[in-house]
Structure formats: C-alpha cells, structure tokens
Amino acid sequence: MSSYSADNNLSHAGRRPMVIAAQLYKAATSMYHIDEMFQWLADVIVANFDVQATQVWTLQASRTGQISVQLRRMVYQEKLFPEHIIANNQVATTAGQILQGQSSYGLQTVESLFPSYQASLLERYGLLYCACYVLIDDKLLPPAYNAPATEIPMPLTVAILLFLRQPVSQNELSAINLILEQSIAVAASRRLLFPASTGSGRLPSLTNNSLQQQAQLSLGGLVPQRIEDADLLKSSNPLAGSLVISDKQARRLFVAIDGRKNVEEICTQIGMDLKVAYEALRVLLAQHRIQLYDPGGQLVDGSVLLENLR
C-alpha cells in the first residue's frame, strides 16, 4: 500500500514540471512584460515546491555604461521572516557575484554561499539552504517595468535564488531548472525579450549623441512601421493566438499604420487623442508589433521616448 502511494507521489512529482510548463504557456498569452513572467515563476515556485522564498536578480545596464545588480522580483512566505532578512546589500553582493560568475550553484548551505553574518542571520530564521540558478541568453532583457529611462536592455543574465528550510531532492531541483529554462523559450516566443543585439559590443550600441538626438525628436513626428514576426507560420503556429492585440486602442492605431504617416497624422486621421495614442504605442512597442522611425528613416528607440512622457 505504502509502495503504491510512494509510486503515485513519484509519478505526480514527475508530471509536475509538465503541468506547470503547460500552465506557463497558457499564462504567457496574457503577459506583456518579462517582469510578469518573473512574478509568475516566483509565485509558482514558492507555491508548488518546498521553497520559502524566491528572488529574481538581473544585471541592468544604464546609458552611461554602468552595470548594476537589480532585484526584479521576490516572493516569500511573509509569516516566516521579515523582508530585509533576504533583501539586503549582502544578498545583493552575493547575487552580483553569481551573475558575474554565470554558473548555477545547485543546492548549498547558506554558510558556503553568503558571508558569515548574513548566513547566521538566515539560519536564525531557519533558512539553512539556498539553491541558485543562472539563466543566460543572447536575447536582450528589457529594463524593469517602472525603470527610469536611463536604463537600457542588455543580454539576458538572470540569477534565481531559492531560500529553503530543508534540502529538496535532486528531482525537485531538476524540475525547477526545467521550468526556468522553458520560461526563457516561452518569453522569447511571446516576445517578452528583445531580439539579440547585432551591434559589435555586448551592450546595444547607443551613443550619447544619438540618444540626445532621439530625445530632441518629437514623438508625434515619428513614423511607426509594422513588424511582422519572422517566425510566424514558419516556426510558430499562427493560430495559437500569441499575436492578438488585446488593447482596442492599440489595435485601432495599428490598423491605421501604413509606414508613411507619422503619429500625429495617424491620430488626426482616426480622431485619436495623442495621450491615448502614446499609451497605444507603448502597448504595440512592448508587443514588438511596431518600430518607430524618424522622418529621415532612422530607427529610433521609441520605448525610451515613451518612458520620458510618463
């Protein structure tokens, strides 16, 4: 009887990553920013595995070339410990070292990963173990949803830290790893990540000069152009519905885009208020359905301009 029960549990545990992956595919259809996916993953890991806290750390570049470590999302069991126990400078420093090292650590004791003071702090609240996953991809990670306009996308480097009271099995760790790896593929297919930079450097090549020029441009004078997904109907199922523009105003604006008229002309044509149009443009840019060009035909980083209008 107990053997049957154990087999049953094992089989259930084996199916869990597949079930979660299926849920991820479904949930991703209503996501418009990578942070929504990070939040979803952190929630799911804490809810489904014996994990007390999940943190998503990323490297973030600024226009001045500085790179910082950012805590993008955190989910933890609030009754067990206060937030500052796991969200502090010492954990950030360790996360930064993990991100720079770019390799996953698997399950470790907190003593072996954190400085002694931080480790004893974690141990005091029963958090004895930490698992660490690093996800790396050439695709560009957009800045956080509410990030200042000075932040720019950079190649995806994410560290996911899991804080645990007791060690979990290797199967559980593999399952989490599988879910995280699939999430990157789903994020790419949902276009929550920007295409890989074709510039020579590792960071997108934006010079101060070009940024100043972009800032001087009036958004109303920019010409939006539609982008067709290169993979659609070739590698990705066009009937899966991932291309749907749910926002009605964004769809209305998108229909009027002909590749020649600028934003102001389009707004006049369809009788749309400029403020509404900017919001619609933000949606379309986030979904990678359009690109913005200046009157001279040069590609412009429209997301930065739209961010400045907030």
Among 67, 168, 178, 276, binds other proteins (CB under 8 A): 178
Nearest CA-CA partner of 75 in 55, 95, 58: 55
Q: What is the DSSP letter of 165?
A: S
Alpha helices in 194-273 (DSSP H): 208-216, 248-256, 263-270
The torsion region of residue 70 among left (phi > 0), alpha (psi -120 to 50) and beta comes to beta
Asked if 38 interacts with other proteins (CB under 8 A), we say no
Asked if 6 interacts with other proteins (CB under 8 A), we say no
Among 238, 269, 299, 309, binds other proteins (CB under 8 A): 238
Among 232, 270, 299, 309, binds other proteins (CB under 8 A): 232
Asked if 270 interacts with other proteins (CB under 8 A), we say no
Q: Which is nearer to other proteins, 22 or 309 (CB)?
A: 22
Do residues 61 and 151 make contact, with C-beta atoms less than 8 angstroms apart?
Answer: yes
160/178 Cα distance (integer angstroms): 13
- Cα-trace Rg, the chain: 22
Binding segment for other proteins (CB under 8 A), chosen from 61-69, 141-149, 215-223, 232-240, is 232-240
Asked if 227 interacts with other proteins (CB under 8 A), we say yes
Phi, then psi, of 116 in degrees rounded to 5: -60, -40
Asked if 182 interacts with other proteins (CB under 8 A), we say yes
| Residues 249 to 268 in contact with other proteins, rule: CB under 8 A | 251, 254-255, 259
Among 1, 228, 296, 297, binds other proteins (CB under 8 A): 228
Asked if 136 interacts with other proteins (CB under 8 A), we say no
Asked if 168 interacts with other proteins (CB under 8 A), we say no
Looking up tokens 């509404």 gives 276
158/87 Cα distance (integer angstroms): 16
The length of the chain is 310
Sites of contact with other proteins (CB under 8 A): 10-11, 13-15, 17-18, 21, 25, 171, 174-175, 178, 181-182, 185, 189, 225-246, 251, 254-255, 259
